[in-house]
Amino acid sequence: MGASAWVGLVEPQRLHRRCLKLGEALFRQGDPTVAVFHVDRGRVRLVRHLEDGSSVTLHVARAGESFAEAALWAEAYHCDGVAETPSEVTVIPKPDLLAALEDNPQAALALARGLAAHVRDLRSRLELRNIRSAPERVVAWLRLQVSGDPPMLRLDRPWTEIAAEIGLTHEAIYRALAVLERTRRLVREDGVVTLSAGSGTIEDAGRKDR
């Protein structure tokens, strides 16, 4: 069952749409859980704030995806949900969706699979943050995103947002990109990034960017 199917489980009159401006919060960490959401247009970033004052991006929900499913079994949202671009979301009330899932075991199983996929995605992000070299962290992130032969990615957001997602400063990610281009590990042109085997090494150059 696709993410959009959660919308179909609830009576249409119980749903409503919410328009978000760039940077507007849909909910904040600690707010009482009231709904699960589906992105109709735009992107919503889920950011968790840690006790040491830092933050980590848990997920970026894009058009066609649902998010905050964990709210179904939690008293409070465990992160912020902030519009990364002007966005529209469908609000699926928590009580209505819970009732629908109780009556639809297949939908409940699909939800469990979706949550497992989110856990795998989060684990991958945490593994990225354990890579000390900034250039190698960028390459590892790109390998998770690219497709085709040669492997390519058309960026749908600025590098500054990607930096926040993988735990780098703006300065560090641009230094890393410069190293990767200089050592021919990647090519950037017109918003498209192409990975290549390259003819050089970034091992020494990457140390300064750690």
pLDDT tier for residue 197 given thresholds of 50, 70 and 90: low
Pick the CATH number of 134-207 from 1.10.10.10, 3.80.10.10, 3.40.710.10, 3.40.50.300: 1.10.10.10
* Start-to-end Cα distance in the chain: 42
Give 154's strand partners: 192
Span 5-129: which CATH code?
Answer: 2.60.120.10
- Please report the pLDDT score of residue 202 as a whole number: 39
Give the mean pLDDT of the chain.
Answer: 86
Q: What phi, psi does 169 have (nearest 5°)? A: -75, 165
For the chain, the domains span: 5-129, 134-207
How far from 42 is each of 12, 47, 96, CA to CA, in Å? 22, 16, 25
Whether residue 114 has pLDDT greater than 90: no
